[in-house]
């Protein structure tokens, strides 16, 4: 093989030097359907594909962070402010502002001069003020916060404050962290926490939760979408004490973090179209007389038709017994399906107050109902059923791939 000529080499060097990936991606995206994550992995390793489709059911919506080396930090900071806004409690917001500002005392304790960090505290307080104003003005959704976090300076200044707090907290509580580090704590803080554009790792994330999130009473859980042994997505609770039950969910893929939204949070949306369901308690009958509609290619070309399915380990069959009451009711629609009818680019509906009695969506170990929804296009209402055979895991990927709403 010929070696590259110096000219070519130089050109490649230049290309690599100038390469800026995802230049126009926003720092924080609007809410998006998690089904697109499932589709991204549909052809990937089976473990990943299975986990990704589970994810799309339990957490139908997500928010993508730009991969600029700050994504984990930004996801936590945005999730924190978004949760505060969703509560719409000015007193609590005020209380949090005071708490977050007073945390700057930690920076003094580790010898940071006020004039170096003051501007970052101010930038963070500014986001609090905007959140306060948004609550007062009755803003319907968190678009203002997305905008604020897409202003690079303010956004990065808040992250810098959180980085400095994390670093100071670790230095003041070394016993909690130093055993998990492969290098001296001081050096770890200087190279992995304080330095701009260094991605957060597990130790740093735990410390960030401990110093910033824990005191707010919010929980923070991490769902890891990786090729780990177990084929279920088990959330890691980073804040075991969750007094108010409100949880920020992070999706962690190797080297990247995004935000996730569980089904419960978006369930109070008024449906924009009528749905008709076909749910049967008698699958065996279907087996015997497979419907001609089953996975018919014409059927699959109907826009907006989708199927959500999750495969519980060891329980491949779905029975009525596993259908949750919420999903069985014709007026309660799983939000994955509801959102199917809304454009991902559309500004999403207002976040309802997060229910205080927060229940995690159905665990993957419990079989979820298979539901097919179709907007009613004619008065007689088309009913569609899926043969249970298609729910075999090995068919799930082709099912997802053949769905017509795929980009």
Q: Is 115 a binder of another protein (CB under 8 A)?
A: yes
Residues 116-145 that bind another protein (CB under 8 A): 116-117, 119-120, 122-123
Q: Which of residues 42-71 bind another protein (CB under 8 A)?
A: 69
Taking CA atoms, 94 is separated from 131, 134, 173, in Å, by 10, 13, 27
Question: Whole-angstrom Cα distance, residue 36 to residue 255?
Answer: 19
- Backbone region of residue 355 per phi and psi (left: phi > 0; alpha: psi in -120 to 50; beta: other values): beta
**Cβ–Cβ < 8 Å for 324, 369:** yes
Q: SS3 of 268, please? A: coil
Which of 293, 386, 376 is closest to 330 using CA atoms? 376
Stretch that binds another protein, among 154-162, 243-251, 278-286, 347-355 (CB under 8 A): 154-162
Nearer to another protein (CB atom), residue 147 or residue 197: 197
Residue 161 or 261 with smaller CB distance to another protein: 161
**Out of 2, 7, 17, 18, the residue judged to bind another protein by CB under 8 A:** 17
Rounded least distance, CB 145 to another protein, Å: 17
Residues 83-112 within binding reach of another protein (CB under 8 A): 112
Radius of gyration from C-alpha coordinates of the chain: 24
* Choice from 29, 32, 156, 239 touching another protein (CB under 8 A): 156
Confirm or reject binding of residue 226 to another protein (CB under 8 A).
no
Q: For the residues of 305-353, what is the DSSP string, one character each?
A: -EEE---BTTB-S--GGGS-HHHHSTT---HHHHHTTS-TTSPPPPPPP
* β-pair type (306-308, 371-375): antiparallel
CB of 154 to another protein, least distance (A): 7
197 is an interface residue for another protein by CB under 8 A: yes
Which residue in the set 56, 57, 145, 164 belongs to the binding site for another protein (CB under 8 A)? 164
DSSP-assigned letter for residue 139: -
User: Considering the rule CB under 8 A, would residue 157 count as an interface residue with another protein?
Assistant: yes
198, 237, 304, 322: which one binds another protein (CB under 8 A): 198
Contact residues toward another protein (CB under 8 A) are 17, 69, 112, 115-117, 119-120, 122-123, 152-154, 156-157, 160, 164, 190-191, 194-198
């Amino acid at each position: 093989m010929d070696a590259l000529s110096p000219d070519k080499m130089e050109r490649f060097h230049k290309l690599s030097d100038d390469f800026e990936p995802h230049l126009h991606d926003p720092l924080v995206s609007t809410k998006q359907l998690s089904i697109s994550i499932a589709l991204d992995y549909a052809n990937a390793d089976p473990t990943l594909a299975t986990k990704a489709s589970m994810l799309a059911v339990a957490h139908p919506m997500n928010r993508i962070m730009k991969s600029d080396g700050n994504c984990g930090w930004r996801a936590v900071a945005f999730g924190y402010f978004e949760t505060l806004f969703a509560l719409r409690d000015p007193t609590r917001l005020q209380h949090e502002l005071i708490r977050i500002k007073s945390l700057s005392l930690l920076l003094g304790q580790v010898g940071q001069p006020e004039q170096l960090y003051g501007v970052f505290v101010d930038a963070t307080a500014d986001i609090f003020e905007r959140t306060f104003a948004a609550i007062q003005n009755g803003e319907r959704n968190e678009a203002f916060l997305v905008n604020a976090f897409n202003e690079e300076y303010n956004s990065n200044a808040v992250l810098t404050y959180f980085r400095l707090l994390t670093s100071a907290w670790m230095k003041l509580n070394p016993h909690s962290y130093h055993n998990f580090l492969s290098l001296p704590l001081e050096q770890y803080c200087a190279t992995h926490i304080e330095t701009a554009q260094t991605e957060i790792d597990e130790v740093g994330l735990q410390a960030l939760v401990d110093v910033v999130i824990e005191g707010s009473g919010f929980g923070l859980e991490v769902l890891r979408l990786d090729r780990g042994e177990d084929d279920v997505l088990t959330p890691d609770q980073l804040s075991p004490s969750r007094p108010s039950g409100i949880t920020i969910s992070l999706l962690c893929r190797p080297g990247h973090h995004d935000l996730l939204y569980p089904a419960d949070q978006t369930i109070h949306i008024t449906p924009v179209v009528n749905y008709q369901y076909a749910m049967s308690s008698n699958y065996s009958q279907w087996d015997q007389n497979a419907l001609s509609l089953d996975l018919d290619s014409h059927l699959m070309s109907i826009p907006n038709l989708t199927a959500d399915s999750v495969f519980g380990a060891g329980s491949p069959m779905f029975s009525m017994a596993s259908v949750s009451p919420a999903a069985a009711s014709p007026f309660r629609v799983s939000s994955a399906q509801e959102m199917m009818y809304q454009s991902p680019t559309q500004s999403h509906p207002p976040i309802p107050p997060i229910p205080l009695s927060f229940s995690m969506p159905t665990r993957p170990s419990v079989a979820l109902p298979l539901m097919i929804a179709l907007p009613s296009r004619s008065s007689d209402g088309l009913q569609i059923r899926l043969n249970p055979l298609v729910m075999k895991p090995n068919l799930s990927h082709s099912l997802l791939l053949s769905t017509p709403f795929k980009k």
